[in-house]
Structure 1
Amino acid sequence: CRMELAGSAADALLPLLFCEQELYQRLVHELLEKEQNPTVKSRLALAFHNLTSSNNLSSTLDRPNRQKFRKNLRVFLGEVSGFMQIK
């Protein structure tokens, strides 16, 4: 994943997460269920949780909230890429 694209990806992803919350939750659940390594599964679950809840993220698309989500996505990508390569 190229980190310089994270901001643009976050700007596109945040509205989709708000519009399709149920679909997003199902997708996360399916990804977690497929993970065989319990440690990776736990870390991945925490990373997904933090993606949508860290930095007092709210359900608005205003500029401050988009900036918070961009930061959350960069952290998420950094964390996940670090431990997913261990597999």
Structure 2
Amino acid sequence: MFTFLTRAVQTTRCFSTSSALQFPKLKSHNGTKKRWRSIASGKFKRAQAGHKHLNVNKSPSRKNNLGHTVYSYGTQTAKLRKLLPYGSP
């Protein structure tokens, strides 16, 4: 009968230049990926809601303001960094 010895420490190949392994990989939130984009300042941007339809009853200035870009604010940015771990610089 053969006895099999197992190694106590298993060596893994690491092709990264950093010594710390990032395991397990974090998953990005799919709904957040579709709606938000990260910018260089560390904040996130998205399109304003309510611009696509039912525009007959909206004033031209309101429709113009709905076409602008919206940026994340302080506490929202912290939540978005957790939802998009690889999106923020």
TM-score normalised by structure 2 residue count: 0.23
Structure with higher helix content? 1
Structure exhibiting the larger radius of gyration computed from Cα positions: 2
- Using CA pairs under 8 Å that are at least 6 residues apart, name the structure with larger relative contact order, 1 or 2: 1
TM-score normalised by structure 1 residue count: 0.23
